Amino acid sequence: MLHSRILLAAAFALLPLAAGAETPGVSHDEITVGSIQDLSGPIAMLGAPVRDGMLMRFEEANASGGVHGRRLRLVVEDAGYDPKRAVLAARKLIQRDRVFAFLSNMGTPVVMASMPMIVEAGRPHLFPFSPHEATYLPLHPLKFQIYAPYQDYMAAATDYMVKTHEYSRTCLLYQDDDYGLEVMKGVEAGLARQGRRLTERTSYKRGATDFSSQIARLRAAGCDLVVLATVVRETVAAMTEARKLGWEVDMLVTASGYSAQTHALGGPAVEGLYGVSVLPHPYAEGATPELAAWVARYRERFGAAPNVWSVMGYTAADLLVQAAQAAGPELTVEGFRVALENLQIRPDIFGGPVYRFSADDHLGNRSGRLAQIRNGRWQLISDYLH
C-alpha cells in the first residue's frame, strides 16, 4: 500500500519533467514571470513599489490583449534580503511555477545566491536590483542589467560637478560597507579626471543617526563639496547637522539618496542638495499629460503615490514586454535574448534613459543625470552624464 503511494507520488513529481520541450513558463495563453523581492526585510520600502510598478505594466499589457495573445502573470516571492530564502524561492519559481524569466530580483545577497541556479536552469535573469558587476559581466546570454555600478554614475557626476563649479576641496562621507567603498572608488575616479584627489574622507556605521563628529571633521578640513554615500535618513541627518552649524557647503548624494523622502523628511535643511538620478521621480505637479495620467492610474490602483522605485519596476517590466513582443508569437528564451539585444527602445514617459543592449553588451545604461532640490522637490539640472 505504502509502496504504491510512494510510486504514485514519485510519478506525480516527475510529471512536469515529462511535459516536453516547450519553453517553460510560456503556454498558449500565458507567460509566467518570477520576481524575488524584499517585502518584509531591510529594503522592503523599495520592494513594494517595485512590485507594484511591475504589476501595473503587466496589467496594462493584459488589458490591451497581452503579448501575442498571451497574458502576463507575475509571481512574486518575498525573500526578505535573506540569501537562504532566496535560494529556496528561486527553486520554487523555477520548478513549481515554471517561470519564463526572473525580473528585478532585489538585493545583492539575494541576487548573488540565486543567480547561478537561475541561469543554470536556462531562465533569463533580467535587471536585478544589485549594482554588482557579476549581474552582466562576464557576458552571459541570459544575464541582462540596466543599473550600472555606483562607481560609474559617481565618477561622471563628480567629474561634472567639479568641472562646472570649480570645487578645489572635495570630501566624502561614506557608509562603512561595500556600498560606501564602491562610491568612494567612483568619486576618486571622477576627481582623477580633473587631476584632483579627495581632501578628506570619513565614514559611519550603517544605521548611525548622529553625524556631529563626521561633519565637524569635514568642516575642519575646509571642504567645498561633500559627496554623501548615504541613504535617505543619513543624508537628511548629515545635511541638517551641517546647516545647524551654519556650514553652507554644497553636498552631492548618490542615487540612493535621490528620493522624494529626502525632501519630505529634510524640509528646508536639504534645500540645494545635489543628487544623482538614474530615473526621474514621477511628480504629479508639473507633469506631462501622459505622466500625470500614469500617476493617477497608479494612485487609483495601489492607493499610494508612485515613487522612483515604482518607475523602476514599471520600466523593467516594460522592457520585458517590449522584448517579448519583438520576439514574435513563438516565444523562446533564445528568441527573447536576440529580441532584447536588438530592441530599439522608445523614450519613455518618465524621461528615463534610452536603454540599449547589444550582442556583446548586456548593460543597457551607464549614465545618470544630476538633480537638485529646489523649492522642496528634485529638479533635473543636467542631461545624462557620461
Partner 1 sequence: MRTPLRWVAWSALALAALGVLAAMGPDYALGQLAFVATFAIAGLGVVLIVGQAGQISLGQGALMALGAYAQCLLVRLGVPAPLALPFAMALGAGGGWLASLPARRLGGLYFAMSTLAFALIIEELLVRADGLTGGAAGLAVPAFAVGPLAADSAAREALVSLLVLALAWLACRHWVDSALGRAWRAIRADEAAAQSCAIDPARAKTSAFVAGGALSGLAGGLYAHWIGFLTPEQFGLMLSFELLMLAFIGGARHLAGALWGALVIVAIPQLIALARDLLPDALASTAGLEALLFGGVLVAVVLWRPQGIAGQR
In the complex, what is the shortest distance from the CB of residue 341 to partner 1, in angstroms, rounded to a whole number? 26
Contact between 51 and partner 1 (CB under 8 A)? Answer: yes
Exposure on the CB side of residue 245, measured as CA atoms within 13 A: 17
CB of 77 or CB of 188, closer to partner 1: 77
Contact between 85 and partner 1 (CB under 8 A)? Answer: yes
Q: How many whole angstroms separate alpha carbon 253 and alpha carbon 37?
A: 25
CB of 48 or CB of 291, closer to partner 1: 48
Contact between 95 and partner 1 (CB under 8 A)? Answer: yes
Question: 3-state DSSP: the chain helix, strand, coil percent, rounded to 5?
Answer: 45, 15, 35
Q: Residue holding cell 520576439?
A: 327
- List 65, 116, 122, 267, residue binding partner 1 (CB under 8 A): 116
H helical segments located in 19-107: 44-63, 83-95
- List 24, 34, 66, 80, residue binding partner 1 (CB under 8 A): 80
- List 27, 62, 109, 137, residue binding partner 1 (CB under 8 A): 109
- Give whole-number Cα distances, 43 to 19, 38, 106, in Å: 38, 6, 9
Contact between 346 and partner 1 (CB under 8 A)? Answer: no
Neighbours of 45 (CB within 10 A): 13
| Nearest CA among 84, 82, 137, 143 for reference residue 118 | 143
In the complex, what is the shortest distance from the CB of residue 320 to partner 1, in angstroms, rounded to a whole number? 19
Site for partner 1 in 1-40 (CB under 8 A): 2, 5-6, 9-10, 12-14, 16, 39-40
| Nearest CA among 229, 236, 234 for reference residue 263 | 236
In the complex, what is the shortest distance from the CB of residue 302 to partner 1, in angstroms, rounded to a whole number? 9
Q: What's phi and psi for 144, nearest 5 deg?
A: -130, 145
Taken as a whole, the chain contains a residue count of 386
Contact between 299 and partner 1 (CB under 8 A)? Answer: no
Helices and strands (H, E) in the chain, number of each type = 12, 12
Count of residues touching partner 1 (by CB under 8 A): 43
In the complex, what is the shortest distance from the CB of residue 91 to partner 1, in angstroms, rounded to a whole number? 4
In the complex, what is the shortest distance from the CB of residue 95 to partner 1, in angstroms, rounded to a whole number? 4
Question: Which of these ranges, 80-88, 164-172, 285-293, 352-360, lies near partner 1 under the rule CB under 8 A?
Answer: 80-88
CB of 113 or CB of 155, closer to partner 1: 113
Question: Which of these ranges, 26-34, 139-147, 173-181, 344-352, lies near partner 1 under the rule CB under 8 A?
Answer: 173-181
- List 30, 60, 71, 112, residue binding partner 1 (CB under 8 A): 112
Neighbours of 20 (CB within 10 A): 5
Q: Which residues pair with 102 in a beta bridge?
A: 34, 125
CB of 28 or CB of 205, closer to partner 1: 205
Contact between 88 and partner 1 (CB under 8 A)? Answer: yes
The identity of residue 18, as a single letter, is A
Give the SS3 label for residue 210.
coil
CB of 60 or CB of 341, closer to partner 1: 60
Q: How many whole angstroms separate alpha carbon 207 and alpha carbon 226?
A: 20
The identity of residue 340, as a single letter, is L
In the complex, what is the shortest distance from the CB of residue 211 to partner 1, in angstroms, rounded to a whole number? 20
Contact between 96 and partner 1 (CB under 8 A)? Answer: yes
Q: How many whole angstroms separate alpha carbon 84 and alpha carbon 100?
A: 22
- Are the beta carbons of 25 and 99 closer than 8 angstroms? yes
Rounded to an integer, what is the distance from CA 350 to the centroid of its chain?
15
CB of 108 or CB of 202, closer to partner 1: 108
Exposure on the CB side of residue 345, measured as CA atoms within 13 A: 26
Contact between 91 and partner 1 (CB under 8 A)? Answer: yes
In the complex, what is the shortest distance from the CB of residue 16 to partner 1, in angstroms, rounded to a whole number? 6
Residues that bind partner 1 (CB under 8 A): 2, 5-6, 9-10, 12-14, 16, 39-40, 44, 47-48, 51, 55, 75-78, 80, 82-85, 87-89, 91-92, 94-96, 108-109, 112-113, 116, 176-179, 181
